[in-house]
Amino acid sequence: MRSPADGHVGTRTHGLQEKAEHAILPGFVFTGPVTRPSVMHSPTQSDPSLPTIVAPRGAGLAELALAVGGLAIGTGEFASMSILPLVANDLGTTLPAMGHMISAYALGVVIGAPLITIFLARMPRRLMLICLMAMFAVGNFLGALAPTPGLLIAARFVAGIPHGAYFGVAALVAAALVTPDKRAQAVSRVMLGLTVANIVGVPLATWLGQVLGWRSAFVIVGVLGLLTAALVAFLLPPIPAGNASPRGELGVFRRLQVWLTLAMVAIGFGGLFALYTYVTPTLQQITHASPLAISVLLGLMGVGMTVGNLAGGWLADRSNTATICGVLIWNALALACFSWTSSNLWLAGLNLFLIGTGIAVVPAVQTRLMDVAGDAQTVAAALNHSAFNIANALGAWVGGMAIAGGLGLTSTGPVGAVLALGGIVVLGISLAVDRRAAAAPRLASACK
């Protein structure tokens, strides 16, 4: 089997020992004696000889281990919002003051994603995932023990640092566990934990917080983090870092298509957060839904996210660009409708389910970054989650400005639709740059 790195030809022998094989996936090199075939080769858009990792206990269990990490992170991120009043009351402070712990977590994500993947570029990927989830668990345990608001805010910052790096590395590992034509579906299965968190993890952690105290919510999230680390250690094969280096990963910042893709996420996906940030007060004041009904409606949105995530992976493996464009248009339409449907409980529930399916863009965008990032895929994949947190902040800010400007709570849907359309504009620019780059060699050849 020929190595894409140096043309080395490895031979296999029958029996217990096999010759070493050399193969490169951007950021991964697999080499050494094996007792079973360790890689398979099949073509991808960016490199015709990318390998596929073979997990010793099956790709499905390896993906499950990675998805449990998504469940832990998603539960911790969103449950911290639902227990915010309990935290503020127990620590003797105000809701706005304790709201800084949400901002601190987001700041940890934005800063931690690129820094960790750059400085730990040479760390074996399985070990990196274990360390990231251990750090996440420690951050949550520190939060559970925090005696003051300031220390809790600091603990939430620590818990946020591994968030983006974990999802970025997990997505690349998941994509390498399958053949290249199924990359997006593998990514969507890993992200499934994040969407299931909204259906199972967040309600459970919130209930525990109400019954046993808010600290118990952080404890259960920390335990999930440790469980993920154990599952990753047991179910994933060793994955050396290979030729990855801090200098090589920094090359991602010189790639225009990476910046355009991240901008598309930050703007286009900001539309969902423009509505989601204010959906509870909208359901209270406009829909006049009871607390139980609000929980059910938000659960419906979580179900929509789960369905959309799986559908998005399937669609992206067939046409990535069409999936991104189609989902952003879908998001714009679904968000725009909420200003009319929010006055009716049943219509609002249906609309929130449809809005939730807009998460279908996530596996498609993650796969696009794999195609445009070259050898700096780890940082690019992690930066994707920094971009999602920027989208969170941007959407909340724009939606808040619309409400403060007198447009009312129902304006968040149309405002979100405008942001989704903005994402389509950025995608159009990205595709135009692609076409121009592809046409340049032909034009140069014609001029000779």
Q: Residue 2: beta bridge partners?
A: 9
Tell me the C-alpha to C-alpha distance, in Å, between residue 438 and each of 66, 247, 256, 322, 432: 36, 27, 14, 19, 10
Confidence of residue 356 (pLDDT cuts 50, 70, 90): very high
**In angstroms, rounded to a whole number, what is the distance separating the alpha carbons of residues 160 and 382?**
13
pLDDT in tens, 271-311: 988 888 788 888 888 999 888 888 788 888 889 999 998 89
Residues 253 and 313 in one domain: yes
Residue % of the chain over a pLDDT of 90: 30
Residue with tokens 């355009």, as numbered in its chain: 260
Residues 176 and 277 in one domain: no
Residues 68 and 129 in one domain: yes
C-alpha torsion sign, points 426, 388, 184, 50: positive
CATH number at residue 130: 1.20.1250.20
C-beta of residue 257 within 8 angstroms of C-beta of residue 436: no
Where does a domain end: 53, 81, 96? 53
pLDDT at 448 over 80: no
pLDDT at 4 over 60: no
pLDDT in tens, 8-28: 333 333 333 333 333 333 333
Where does a domain end: 216, 244, 272? 244
Residues 346 and 304 in one domain: yes
Q: For residue 378, what pLDDT is reported? A: 75
Residues 262 and 380 in one domain: yes
Tell me the C-alpha to C-alpha distance, in Å, between residue 10 and each of 4, 6, 13, 32, 33: 12, 11, 10, 11, 11
| Interacting residues of 110 by C-beta distance below 8 A, sequence separation 6+ | 164, 386, 389, 390
**In angstroms, rounded to a whole number, what is the distance separating the alpha carbons of residues 139 and 157?**
8
Under DSSP, the state recorded for 2 is: B
pLDDT at 1 over 50: no
Residues 288 and 311 in one domain: yes
pTM to 2 decimal places: 0.72
**In angstroms, rounded to a whole number, what is the distance separating the alpha carbons of residues 59 and 15?**
25
Residue % of the chain over a pLDDT of 70: 81
pLDDT at 204 over 70: yes
Q: For residue 244, what pLDDT is reported? A: 60
Residues 267 and 375 in one domain: yes
Domain that holds residue 19: 1-53
Residues 5 and 79 in one domain: no
Q: Which of 394, 417, 419, 399 is nearest to 409 (CA)?
A: 399
pLDDT in tens, 112-139: 888 888 888 778 888 999 999 999 999 9
Residues 163 and 295 in one domain: no
Where does a domain end: 53, 70, 88? 53
Residues 69 and 119 in one domain: yes
Residues 286 and 389 in one domain: yes
Residues 418 and 279 in one domain: yes
Confidence of residue 447 (pLDDT cuts 50, 70, 90): low
Q: How many domains in the chain?
A: 3
